[in-house]
Amino acid sequence: MSPLLEARDVSKSFGRTRALRGASLEIGAGEVVAVSGPSGSGKSTLLHCLAGILVPDAGEIRYGGTRVDELDEDTRTRLRREAFGVVFQFGGLVPELTAQENVAVALMFGGARRAEASRAAMEWLGRVGADDCAPLRPGDLSGGQAQRVAMARALATGPKVVFADEPTGALDSVAGEEVLGLLLSTAREHGTTVVLVTHDNRIAAFADREIVVRDGATTGSPAVAR
Ligand SMILES: Nc1ncnc2c1ncn2[C@@H]1O[C@H](COP(=O)(O)OP(=O)(O)O)[C@@H](O)[C@H]1O
Ligand SMILES: [Mg+2]
């Protein structure tokens, strides 16, 4: 069976910094995969390339067999809205909007009407334990609250793939495990594929499989679906 997500020899530099130098992986539909490795190894860059946010300098990214790196920006944006949910490492919420509006807007991009989007947004905030955050803007949320809201936004649209970059990074371990557990149970219930970027081995242990990134390359046993 062909993988749902694939990276082949992906390289990406920022100026003189070579963030990725030949990273390759395959992820099957419904897999929960941890992408781990030390800080600065290129995990976030790889996630952004897989999600079609960054275009690699060289190599290939595929989603369902389609070359994501060859799509124009509008098409990549549409793909993200329709098929992906992304929880960014640093914020990623729209600062001018309340938490509820941040979630609702994602649903409206998917075609939901305002009233229905607002209602569903509230429901998702409740599921991640962030009801209290609904009327607050990101600037008034704690790091942990912001990540719960970002998680609600990523899950609410019913994505095929959730990309989560250090989703528990700003939480203490109990709250972190709770939010992570919620992400994984939601994903497993819906057959959602999860790419979970983390530098924390304990978090990687929750995944079905771990892919290690070092110095911009995937290492160890072949980073392919079993
Ligand atoms: N937008 C950027 N501009 C310049 N350098 C960047 C940028 N993003 C990442 N880098 C650099 O690329 C390398 C890999 O970064 P990153 O992918 O964020 O690693 P990780 O997520 O594993 O900590 C680091 O040296 C980082 O400083
Ligand atoms: Mg990172």
pLDDT in tens, 12-50: 999 999 999 999 999 999 999 999 999 999 999 999 999
Task: Looking at the CA of residue 166, tell me the nearest atom of ligand 1.
Answer: 21
* Residue 6 contacts residue 26 (beta carbons within 8 Å): yes
Both tokens assigned to 118:
């607002």
What residues are neighbours of ligand 2 (ion), with CB under 5 Å? 44, 89
Average pLDDT, the chain: 91
Query: 172 vs 57, which has greater pLDDT?
Result: 57
For 223, half-sphere exposure in the C-beta direction (CA atoms, 13 angstrom radius) is: 25
> Tens digit of pLDDT for each residue in 75-116?
999 999 999 999 987 778 999 999 999 999 999 998 999 999
| Domains of the chain from N-terminus onward | 5-219 (3.40.50.300)
The predicted pLDDT at position 82 comes to 92
Indicate if ligand 1 lies below 6 Å from the C-beta of 49: no
Burial 146-166 (b: 16+ CB within 10 A, else e): bbbbbbbbbbbbebbbbbbbb
Residues 127-174 pLDDT 10s: 988 999 999 999 999 888 898 999 999 999 999 999 999 887 766 667
